[in-house]
């Protein structure tokens, strides 16, 4: 059975998943005007983002293109903006992978000697990106050793979608008030399983971006004018190799 969890606060004020192995560090934050800011054009915010990666300079951090479907294995020398890439994999310590998000789920992965991170929009899921993410990771590590963490993301309770999605993502839709509601994180979990990942290897952060209060949601901002939180960020870092 897939494990469902909620995030807990770290000592430095970010959200994480408990029970992770000592070789991996994971951070999630709803970025605010203040201590949890995350804007690439705001130098003070950039310093805070750099602090996620152990104080590394901004120029050494990776800024992927969250709207592109590519998946790339990152090397020590890689830095700056990565075009055409919204999935990152690395074997290197001291190379934190950071991804921004609005309502779309983040997908983290880790195994001894490897961490990975991807931003998956509805279109990414419709195009099979979860499967491609698994296939690329399987080239870098034994898939049986890899654990995946899905979410947080917008859930079906606040995500009406086109009715045709029921034919493309069967099992991932709900019906309420004459609307088709799409469960994007659930669809990602199903595609991971079809790609060969066992239930026991998947952890699902069962928190909706819209109503959890911890994170930014573009849909909540559009509906309620909420400007306190300006975006989300996720980080995963390999701390030591085994």
CA 98/CA 166 separation, integer angstroms: 32
Contact 32, 229 (CB under 8 A): yes
Residue 203: strand pairing partners: 3, 149
Count how many Cα atoms sit within 13 Å of the Cα of residue 8 in the half-sphere of its side chain.
7
CA 101/CA 30 separation, integer angstroms: 9
Residue for token pair 């009406």: 160
Residue 125 predicted with pLDDT over 70: yes
Residue 109 is assigned to a structural domain of this protein: yes
> What CATH number has the domain bearing residue 67?
3.60.140.10
- Closest by CA to 131, choosing from 206, 208, 71, 83, is 71
Residue 112 is assigned to a structural domain of this protein: yes
Contact 49, 35 (CB under 8 A): no
Residue 19 predicted with pLDDT over 90: yes
- What's the chain's Rg over C-alpha atoms? 17
Give pLDDT, residue 33: 40
Instruction: State how many domains the chain has.
Output: 1
Residue 99 predicted with pLDDT over 70: yes
* Residue 8: Cβ within 10 Å count: 9
Peptide bond into 152 cis (omega under 30): yes
Residue 191 is assigned to a structural domain of this protein: no
Residue 184 is assigned to a structural domain of this protein: no
Q: What is the pTM of this model?
A: 0.84
Residue 163 is assigned to a structural domain of this protein: no
Residue 67 is assigned to a structural domain of this protein: yes
Task: Cite the beta strand spans of 105-228 per DSSP E.
Answer: 106-111, 114-119, 147-150, 173-176, 179-182, 202-205
Q: What would the DSSP string read from start to end of 189-230?
A: HHHHHHTT--GGGEEEE--BTTTSSSS--HHHHHHH---SEE
Give pLDDT, residue 101: 79
Residue 60 is assigned to a structural domain of this protein: yes
Structural domain span for residue 18: 3-154+196-238
pLDDT digits (tens, 9 = 90+) for 152-190: 887 756 666 676 766 677 777 677 777 777 788 998 999
Using pLDDT thresholds of 50, 70 and 90, give the confidence band for residue 96: confident
Name the most confidently modeled range: 57-66, 133-142, 210-219: 133-142
Residue 95 is assigned to a structural domain of this protein: yes
């Amino acid at each position: 059975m897939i494990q469902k969890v909620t995030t807990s606060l770290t000592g430095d004020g970010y959200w994480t998943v408990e029970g992770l192995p000592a070789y991996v560090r994971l951070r999630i934050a709803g970025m605010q005007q203040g201590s949890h800011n995350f804007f690439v054009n705001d130098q003070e915010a950039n310093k805070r983002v750099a602090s996620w990666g152990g104080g590394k300079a901004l120029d050494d951090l990776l800024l992927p293109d969250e709207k592109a479907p590519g998946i790339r294995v990152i090397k020590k020398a890689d830095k700056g903006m990565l075009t055409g890439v919204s999935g990152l994999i690395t074997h290197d310590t001291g190379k934190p992978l950071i991804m921004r998000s609005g309502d779309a789920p983040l997908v983290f992965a880790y195994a001894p000697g490897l961490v990975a991170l991807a931003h998956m929009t509805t279109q990414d899921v419709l195009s099979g990106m979860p499967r491609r993410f698994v296939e690329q990771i399987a080239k870098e590590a034994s898939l049986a050793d890899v654990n995946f963490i899905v979410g947080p993301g917008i859930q079906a309770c606040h995500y009406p979608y086109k009715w045709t999605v029921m034919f493309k993502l069967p099992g991932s839709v709900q019906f309420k008030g004459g609307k088709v509601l799409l469960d994007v994180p659930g669809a990602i979990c199903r595609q991971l399983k079809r790609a060969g990942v066992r239930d026991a290897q998947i952890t699902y952060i069962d928190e909706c971006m819209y109503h959890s209060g911890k994170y930014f949601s573009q849909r909540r901002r559009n509906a309620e004018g909420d400007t306190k939180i300006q975006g989300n960020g996720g980080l995963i870092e390999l701390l030591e190799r085994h």
